[in-house]
Amino acid sequence: MSLLPDSAHPATVLLDAQASTLRLPVCDHYSGVEARMRKSLELQAEMTAEFGTCVFDVTLDCEDGAPVGDEAAHARLVAALARESAPEARVAARVHAVDHPAFAEDVATIVGEASHRLSYVMVPKVESVDDVLLAEKALERASGGHLPLHVLIESPAAVYRAFEIAAHPRVQSISFGLMDFVSAHGGAIPASAMGVQGQFEHPLVVRAKLEISAACHAHGKVPSHCVVTEFKDPERMQAAAGRAAREFGYTRMWSIHPGQIRSILAAFAPAQSEIDQAARILLSAAAVHWAPISADGVLHDRASYRYYWQLLERAQQTGRSMPAGVQPWFAASSST
């Protein structure tokens, strides 16, 4: 079956104002110790070769990675690692919070020396749009005005302002800081809510996760789910990632151990049966120039086509095998 010209590519036809066009790898992997940062970048290259696409970002961590009193040296190390990364690598940096004494120097050093290699800058403990504006100005002073901001929301007040934060054009993604959120409640939320099961059950934590996810989807941004600390249990890890994706609307998740990456990919990837179904429907739709069709007794039009196209995009992001008929669509996307 022949496909339509680029002007009728699914991404052009189907992703209108009602759909987010922002796509990021579904996994964001954090490391802050030099040896682990280097290994993370090596692993990213290995898995990119394995899957044929970059399936996770590497965020080099200054907030938790920098030894107290040695923040400046750590920032220089992060800048050097970013500069040395391969051209196809997706590497970012988490700096200190905007009210931390090291924040300004973090940005000046890392962005000033390596902005051309960074995919984004992550800012923790964002409380309001004012913090986003401070970070934005710092990026501009360091010649990083082109860089997106990823922000980490970690308090009840910040959750309340999630929609305002998500609306800022520089913000590309919002992450949820589970453990700081729980501890911000002064013991009112039990420690069990930080665990792999309790975080999906406690009403205040559930509400916070849903607010952040809804805010991101309302403004076309990427909601990124929090860490799971039980990194030695891949089954529970994958179950948590699956719930984040299927029940809470998250399209991305943090990894804090290399062993978590494949579990996240597996949880966020569509099943092969879903991929095959999406391909059949979209190829049939393309053949009639995206007019409504009937498939297996079910009516489909552009609303459902959009859903199935986004499902195929997620399959491509997670390195899944794509049916031959739709592969040219993705070859065209990667060449533009």
- According to DSSP, residue 180 is labeled H
Write out the residue limits of the CATH 3.20.20.60 domain(s) in the chain.
Answer: 27-268
Query: Interior CA angle at 135 toward 224 and 245, to 5°?
Result: 5
**What pLDDT, on the 0 to 100 scale, is given for residue 228?**
86
CA distance 173 to 120: 10
CA distance 249 to 193: 19
Which pairing describes strands 171-176 and 252-255: parallel, antiparallel, or unpaired? unpaired
Contact 312, 278 (CB under 8 A): yes
Residues 6 or more apart in contact with residue 63 via CB below 8 angstroms: 32, 94, 95, 96, 97, 124
**What pLDDT, on the 0 to 100 scale, is given for residue 20?**
62
Looking at domain 27-268, does it have CATH number 3.40.50.720?
Answer: no
CA distance 27 to 241: 10
**What pLDDT, on the 0 to 100 scale, is given for residue 19?**
54
Cβ atoms < 10 Å from Cβ of 63: 22
Assigned token pair, 285: 């739709």
Contact 287, 21 (CB under 8 A): no
CA distance 14 to 269: 21
Q: What string of pLDDT tens digits covers the 336 residues of the chain?
A: 444 455 578 888 887 655 566 789 999 999 999 999 999 999 999 999 999 899 999 999 999 988 898 999 999 999 999 999 999 999 999 999 999 999 999 999 999 999 999 999 999 999 999 999 999 999 999 999 999 999 999 999 999 999 999 999 999 999 999 999 999 999 999 999 999 889 999 999 999 999 999 999 999 999 999 988 877 788 888 899 999 999 999 999 999 999 999 999 999 999 999 999 999 999 999 999 999 999 989 999 999 999 999 999 999 999 999 999 999 998 855 543
Look at phi and psi of residue 45 and say left if phi exceeds 0, alpha if psi is from -120 to 50, else beta. alpha
Listing DSSP states for 238-266 in one string gives HHHHHHHHHTS---EEEESSHHHHHHHHH
**What pLDDT, on the 0 to 100 scale, is given for residue 12?**
83
Residue 301 — φ and ψ, nearest 5°?
-140, -160
**What pLDDT, on the 0 to 100 scale, is given for residue 123?**
98
